[in-house]
């Protein structure tokens, strides 16, 4: 698929600003020590996710980073290595108890500087 | 972590303990003890869709503070969809309407309720025959009943129609012309029992999510159920289906004929079932011969039927529909197999179809022809979109040609019976049917000197300014016509209030008593739990207050035969209460009084309803609800089947006791495959389909004000195939212009989004009032049901920047 057709653009115009955003989507490589206290990663808490017993895909549809989220048998999954921690999935989650946790990125999960 | 399969276990536990403390019979809300946190709980059906889930509503300090799935409810067993979890917030949008507003010099200004009621009454008095009511499948049963009685029994006019005309009118004509009586024979239990579930143009995962969860839950428990999705684009439902058959829009008729063709060709139909229980029919030579001709059709022999189907070979069907002949054979093979149970479901795909009645008939037809009928899990079942389309529109008969309980305006006997129950003089009910929805709005939008014979129109609980098709013609044309007066009762400002001359603030959902009837014939009840905001008042009160004012102004129709006011209502002690005075409205249970009066209508078509108090105890009961020897009331799950339906004669096995042909047989119809009213061409090369999304309820007037739902689905869009976009150089998210012969709309394109239309096909949801796709739709109506087609018209797209 061409770059013009990436999922990145969709809904971009209507996105709510996310105050907790710490790493811009196209994050430059940061030193591990600095990243540790700011960079985040999304985790879906399955037991709160509406897709567990019903249907929902808001987070997967709106994640701006191709490949950072996928659906497995209807359930959303974050691919931690690709997730930039932008927090959009958390913002859009309509579960009665928000099912997306934004956790500090553990050093072992940060992309290795090349 | 709670797995799906744990769900039923939990539900069963809760059922056992709660049954132990079941409440005593009562018809007014008994004070309920608050839990430790000061929250009191009561039951109500969800406000949103026709699935009819029950919720537990938690109230504290006169405010709904918590919602839970109701584990005692058979429909949802404690489960809810994303809308249901947030239903309580529908009440608390910041801009609730709290006072009546009258348009003066173009501006809506606050007025008192007295002025508002007076204004409406004067408008009606000036020209009662030019007054119409446009109601809703979201009206409660008593609200619809009050409106129906007011206009038909009081004003002697039949200009009343509900938005349900836009939604399930074709299902009604389908049922009536096949079984002689409306509504599905089966119920949701079929979903638990079927081996094969065929969804005909029915995106159940998105539109009736809890029902689809019920089916998914079976899979999780290890049961085998084959799911077949027949659609015109890939949807959320497709993801979970075993087979996806994509057909060319409008060619569902050909597919069903193809199945019937094979069943007969291969001698794989059920001759015993057909001989005992079915007759054959085709469209009448002269549909105008009698009013019932289109529903009764012309008789046809089996040989003729066979001959009519002869051309529909799998190869021809493949050509017409794009579905491979092999797949048609696969479908026919399923119907040929009597050892499996097949449930068909459909909703707007069949109903919003310019041949919607025929689509419904053909689906019933293949079930009857193959004998896949009358056993649990073997059922052709229509799903409704609105919470009380069945209860209020179909059963109460708030349509322009119906009287309550399945009676018809055109039938003199039915009018007489209705007049008797209403105790109004003979001849009060107008023998002429009123304007159906599309005609009503056409007449309202047409100047009086050009034949526009509706001058004052009162809309309750619906948003036609967004949901009617072809809005420029059917709604927006009202603007600039000072002699046309639009009254709107609603809870928020909507596209409809934009053109309203008078806006009435309404109470909603648990701010009032109510009753709904869901898709599976289940009648549900709830009590008022919180007070409405400001000066908002019940819709039924508004109607009764106007009736009373007309009575006081001397309108003869507002009195019954004995000179008493039409809505003379008595409390449980038998004392009359002047309920038209708002402070007295809740001095009695008006819902109960109206419902008990309405109940008398329900027996004639064997849609027997139980006394009000039975519904207070239950999470809904499916009619016919029949009293047993021991005095208890028993619901019916499977109509027309001897093992469950008390009205079937012993030994009959299956009896269609309202048979059109009066011989206890159902009708199998032949109907040809036909072209859509507008198909893509060189100028407008795309099919355009419209519909709903999971997060939003219809026009979004409630759900768009719920922050969680709005955040999850903030904006409308147009879905398009990636190749079509690439060819035109359109990027995902780019604003494009979608144009039809009726109008144009600028909105972002979503490629590989939630749905995946095939090449040459577009989809736009209709929830977003900033981007109304009904500026584009054609709305060609089905000639029999008068329901418009929202699913098919021809469109073209262009880059926003290059568009003129
Ligand atoms: S935080 Fe959520 S939305 Fe953002 S990249 Fe990670 S998974 Fe996607
Ligand atoms: S948005 Fe929330 S509820 Fe919906 S699928 Fe994602 S995590 Fe689950
Ligand atoms: S499926 Fe329908 S009735 Fe059930 S919770 Fe969702 S919107 Fe409400």
Contact A10 B713 (CB under 8 A): no
A32 assigned to some structural domain? yes
Query: What does the pLDDT read at residue A34?
Result: 42
B795 pLDDT more than 90: yes
Min Cα separation B236/chain A (Å): 9
CATH placement of domain B101-165+388-585: 3.40.50.740
Query: What does the pLDDT read at residue B48?
Result: 97
Q: Name B753's Cβ contacts closer than 8 Å, sequence gap at least 6.
A: A10, A61, B717, B719
pLDDT tens digits, B546-560: 999 999 999 999 999
Query: What does the pLDDT read at residue B290?
Result: 87
| Alpha-carbon gap, residue B755 to B238, rounded angstroms | 9
Query: What does the pLDDT read at residue B259?
Result: 98
pLDDT tens digits, B627-646: 999 999 999 999 999 999 99
Element (H, E) at B616: helix B612-617
A110: its two tokens: 């940060």
B456: its two tokens: 């004052």
- Cβ-based contacts of B694 with chain A (< 8 Å): 55-56
Domain containing A45 equals 3-109
pLDDT tens digits, B367-421: 999 999 999 999 999 999 999 999 999 999 999 999 999 999 999 999 999 999 9
| Alpha-carbon gap, residue B82 to B100, rounded angstroms | 32
**Percent of chain B scored above 90 by pLDDT?**
94
Nearest alpha carbon to residue B81 among B50, B58, B60: B50
Pairing state between β B40-45 and B54-60 = antiparallel
- Cβ-based contacts of A52 with chain B (< 8 Å): 1-4
Q: A22 near A40, Cβ under 8 Å? A: yes
Q: How wide is the angle at C-alpha B547 spanned by C-alphas B151 and B479, nearest 5°?
A: 65
pLDDT tens digits, B598-626: 999 999 999 999 999 999 999 999 999 99
Ligand closest to CA B213: 3
Contact A14 B240 (CB under 8 A): no
pLDDT tens digits, B491-508: 999 999 999 999 999 999
Query: What does the pLDDT read at residue A35?
Result: 43
Q: Ligand 3 in contact with B477 (CB < 6 A)?
A: no
pLDDT tens digits, A15-56: 433 222 223 333 333 344 444 456 899 999 999 999 999 999
Nearest alpha carbon to residue B46 among B386, B466, B383, B384: B386
Min Cα separation B756/chain A (Å): 13
Predicted confidence band of residue B12 (pLDDT cuts 50, 70, 90): very low
Predicted confidence band of residue B5 (pLDDT cuts 50, 70, 90): very low
Query: What does the pLDDT read at residue B266?
Result: 96
Query: Average pLDDT in the B215-235 region?
Result: 96
Query: What does the pLDDT read at residue B14?
Result: 37
What's the domain count of chain A? Answer: 1
Number of Cβ pairs closer than 8 Å across A and B?
102
A74 assigned to some structural domain? yes
A73 assigned to some structural domain? yes
C-alpha distances out from residue B620 to B137, B424, B605, B609, Å: 17, 32, 20, 11
Q: Name B602's Cβ contacts closer than 8 Å, sequence gap at least 6.
A: B395, B405, B608, B609, B623
| Alpha-carbon gap, residue A79 to B716, rounded angstroms | 28
SS3 B338: coil
B634: its two tokens: 């028993």
Nearest alpha carbon to residue A8 among A20, A25, A21, A29: A25
Query: What does the pLDDT read at residue B98?
Result: 98
pLDDT tens digits, B74-115: 999 999 999 999 999 999 999 999 999 999 999 999 999 999
Catalytic residues of B: 83, 167-168, 348, 385-386
Q: B61 near B88, Cβ under 8 Å? A: no
Ligand 3 center–CA B693 separation, angstroms? 13
Ligand 1 pocket (Cβ < 6 Å) reads A 42, 63, 65, 68-69, 78, 83-89
B179 pLDDT more than 60: yes
Query: Average pLDDT in the B557-566 region?
Result: 97
pLDDT tens digits, B238-279: 999 999 999 999 999 999 999 999 999 999 999 999 999 999
pLDDT tens digits, B188-199: 999 999 999 999
A94 assigned to some structural domain? yes
Q: How wide is the angle at C-alpha B674 spanned by C-alphas B669 and B679, nearest 5°?
A: 150
Query: What does the pLDDT read at residue B9?
Result: 37
Domain ranges of chain B: 2-92, 101-165+388-585, 169-383+663-670, 686-799
Query: What does the pLDDT read at residue B405?
Result: 96
Nearest alpha carbon to residue B690 among B735, B755, B752: B755
C-alpha distances out from residue B163 to B50, B214, B787, Å: 14, 28, 10
Mean pLDDT of chain B: 94
Nearest alpha carbon to residue A89 among A63, A51, A57, A52: A63
A49 assigned to some structural domain? yes
Contact A55 B81 (CB under 8 A): yes
CATH of the domain at A45: 3.30.70
B631: its two tokens: 């005095």
Burial class, B768, CB count within 10 angstroms (exposed 0-12 / middle 13-18 / buried 19+) = buried
Q: Name B295's Cβ contacts closer than 8 Å, sequence gap at least 6.
A: B173, B176, B177, B660, B784
Lowest mean per-residue pLDDT among A77-91, B33-47, B397-411, B616-630: B33-47
Q: Spelled out in words, what is the top-level CATH class assigned to the domain B686-799?
A: mainly beta
Contact A94 B717 (CB under 8 A): no
Higher pLDDT, A109 or B768: B768
Q: Bridge-partner residues for B342, per DSSP? A: B196
Q: Name B45's Cβ contacts closer than 8 Å, sequence gap at least 6.
A: B52, B53, B54, B55, B387, B516, B518, B524, B526, B620
Q: B140 near B47, Cβ under 8 Å? A: no
Query: Average pLDDT in the B289-299 region?
Result: 91
Q: Spelled out in words, what is the top-level CATH class assigned to the domain B2-92?
A: alpha beta
C-alpha distances out from residue B568 to B89, B124, B428, B577, B596, Å: 35, 21, 18, 8, 13
Nearest alpha carbon to residue B75 among B522, B381, B380: B522
To probe the interface with B, which of A55, A57, A70, A89 has the most B CB atoms within 10 Å? A55
Ligand 3 center–CA B85 separation, angstroms? 9
Q: Which of A1, A13, A53 sits opposite B213 (nearest CB)?
A: A53
Q: B434 near B401, Cβ under 8 Å? A: yes
A43 assigned to some structural domain? yes
Query: What does the pLDDT read at residue B33?
Result: 72
Query: What does the pLDDT read at residue A38?
Result: 67
CATH placement of domain B169-383+663-670: 3.40.228.10
Nearest alpha carbon to residue B123 among B442, B457, B558: B457
Ligand 2 center–CA B207 separation, angstroms? 17
Q: Which atom of ligand 3 is nearest to the CA of B52?
A: 3
| Alpha-carbon gap, residue B307 to B694, rounded angstroms | 43
Query: What does the pLDDT read at residue B801?
Result: 76
Query: What does the pLDDT read at residue B30?
Result: 63
- Cβ-based contacts of A12 with chain B (< 8 Å): 733
B183 pLDDT more than 90: yes
Nearest alpha carbon to residue B524 among B387, B627, B404, B697: B387
List, edge to edge, every strand of the sheet that includes B298-300: B298-300, B278-282, B666-669
Higher pLDDT, B34 or B616: B616
A10 assigned to some structural domain? yes
Cβ-defined contacts of B264-268 (< 8 Å, 24+) = B264/B306, B264/B309, B264/B369, B266/B332, B266/B336, B268/B332, B268/B335, B268/B336, B268/B370
Query: What does the pLDDT read at residue B35?
Result: 77
A9 pLDDT more than 90: no
A114 assigned to some structural domain? no
Lowest mean per-residue pLDDT among B128-142, B664-678, B789-803: B789-803
């Amino acid at each position: 698929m061409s770059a013009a057709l990436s999922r990145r653009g969709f809904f971009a115009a209507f996105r709510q600003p996310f105050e907790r955003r710490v790493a811009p989507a196209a994050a430059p490589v940061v030193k591990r020590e600095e990243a540790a206290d700011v960079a985040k990663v999304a985790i879906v808490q399955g037991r709160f996710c509406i897709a567990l017993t019903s249907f929902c895909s808001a987070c997967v549809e709106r994640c701006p980073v191709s490949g950072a989220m996928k659906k497995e048998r209807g359930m959303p999954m974050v691919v931690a290595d690709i997730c930039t921690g932008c927090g959009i999935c958390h913002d859009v989650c309509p579960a009665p108890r928000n099912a997306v946790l934004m956790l500090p990125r553990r050093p072992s999960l940060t992309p290795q500087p090349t | 972590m709670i797995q799906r399969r744990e769900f039923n276990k939990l539900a069963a536990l809760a059922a056992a303990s709660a049954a132990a403390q079941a409440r005593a019979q009562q018809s007014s809300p008994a004070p309920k003890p608050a839990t430790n946190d000061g929250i009191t709980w009561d039951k109500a059906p969800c406000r949103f869709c026709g699935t009819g889930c029950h919720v537990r509503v938690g109230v504290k300090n006169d405010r709904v503070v918590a919602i839970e799935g109701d584990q005692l409810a058979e429909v949802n067993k404690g489960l809810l969809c994303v809308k249901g979890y947030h239903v309580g917030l529908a009440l608390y949008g910041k801009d609730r309407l709290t006072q009546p507003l009258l348009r003066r010099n173009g501006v809506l200004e606050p007025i008192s309720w007295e002025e508002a009621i007076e204004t409406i009454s004067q408008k009606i008095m000036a020209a009662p025959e030019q007054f119409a009511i446009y109601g809703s499948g979201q009206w409660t049963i008593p609200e619809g009943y009050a409106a129906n009685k007011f206009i038909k029994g009081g004003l002697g006019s039949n200009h009343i129609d509900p938005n349900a005309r836009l939604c399930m009118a074709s299902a009604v004509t389908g049922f009536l012309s096949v079984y002689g009586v409306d509504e599905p024979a089966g119920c949701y239990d079929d979903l638990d029992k079927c081996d094969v579930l065929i969804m005909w143009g029915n995106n159940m995962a998105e539109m009736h999510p809890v029902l689809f969860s019920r089916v998914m839950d079976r899979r999780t428990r290890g049961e085998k159920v084959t799911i077949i999705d027949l659609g015109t684009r890939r949807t959320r439902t497709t993801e979970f289906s075993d087979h996806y058959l994509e057909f060319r829009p409008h060619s569902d008729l050909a597919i069903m004929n193809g199945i019937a063709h094979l069943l007969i060709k291969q001698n794989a139909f059920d001759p015993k079932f057909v001989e005992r229980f079915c007759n054959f029919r085709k469209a009448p030579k002269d549909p105008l011969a009698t009013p019932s001709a289109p529903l009764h059709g012309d008789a046809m022999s089996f040989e003729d039927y066979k001959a009519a189907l002869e051309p529909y070979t799998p190869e021809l069907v493949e050509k017409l529909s794009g579905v491979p002949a092999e797949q048609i054979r696969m479908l026919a093979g399923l119907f040929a197999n009597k050892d499996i149970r097949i449930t068909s479901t459909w909703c707007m795909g069949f109903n919003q179809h310019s041949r919607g009645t025929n689509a419904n008939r053909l689906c019933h037809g293949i079930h009857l022809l193959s004998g896949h009928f009358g056993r649990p899990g073997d059922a052709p079942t229509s799903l409704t979109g609105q919470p009380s389309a069945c209860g209020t529109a179909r059963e109460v008969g708030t349509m322009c040609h119906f009287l309550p309980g399945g009676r018809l305006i055109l039938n003199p006997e039915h009018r007489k019976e209705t007049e008797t129950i209403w105790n109004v003089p003979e001849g009060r009910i107008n023998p002429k049917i009123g304007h159906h929805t599309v005609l009503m709005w056409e007449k309202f939008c047409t100047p009086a000197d050009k034949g526009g014979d509706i001058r004052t129109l009162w809309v309750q609980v619906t948003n036609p300014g967004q949901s009617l098709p072809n809005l420029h013609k059917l709604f927006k044309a009202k603007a600039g016509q000072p002699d046309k007066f639009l009254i709107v009762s609603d809870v928020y400002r909507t596209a409809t209030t934009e053109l309203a001359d008078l806006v009435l603030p309404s109470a909603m959902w648990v701010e009032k008593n109510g009753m709904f009837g869901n898709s599976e014939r289940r009648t549900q009840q709830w009590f008022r739990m919180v007070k409405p905001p400001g000066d908002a008042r019940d819709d039924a009160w508004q109607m009764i207050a106007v009736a009373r004012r007309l009575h006081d102004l001397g309108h003869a129709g507002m009195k019954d035969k004995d000179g008493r006011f039409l809505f003379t209502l008595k409390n449980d002690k038998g004392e009359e209460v002047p309920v038209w005075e708002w402070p007295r409205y809740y001095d009695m249970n008006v819902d109960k009084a109206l419902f008990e009066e309405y109940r008398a209508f329900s027996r004639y078509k064997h849609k027997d309803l139980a006394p009000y108090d039975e519904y207070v105890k239950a999470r809904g009961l499916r009619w016919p609800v029949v009293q047993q020897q021991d005095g208890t009331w028993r619901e019916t799950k499977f109509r027309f089947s001897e093992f469950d339906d008390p009205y079937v004669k012993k030994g009959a096995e299956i009896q269609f006791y309202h048979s059109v042909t009066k011989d206890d047989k159902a009708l199998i119809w032949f109907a040809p495959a036909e072209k859509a009213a507008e198909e893509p061409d060189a100028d407008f090369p795309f099919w355009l389909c419209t519909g709903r999304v999971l997060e939003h309820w219809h026009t979004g007037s409630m759900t768009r004000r719920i922050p969680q739902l709005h955040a999850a689905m903030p904006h409308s869009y147009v879905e398009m195939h990636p190749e079509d976009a690439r060819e035109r150089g359109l990027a995902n998210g780019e604003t494009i212009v979608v144009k039809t012969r009726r109008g144009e709309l600028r909105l972002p394109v979503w490629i590989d989004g939630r749905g995946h239309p095939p090449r040459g096909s577009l989809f736009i949801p209709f929830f977003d009032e900033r981007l109304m796709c009904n500026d584009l739709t054609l709305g060609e109506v089905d000639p029999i049901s008068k329901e418009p087609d929202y699913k098919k018209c021809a469109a073209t797209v262009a880059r926003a920047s290059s568009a003129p």
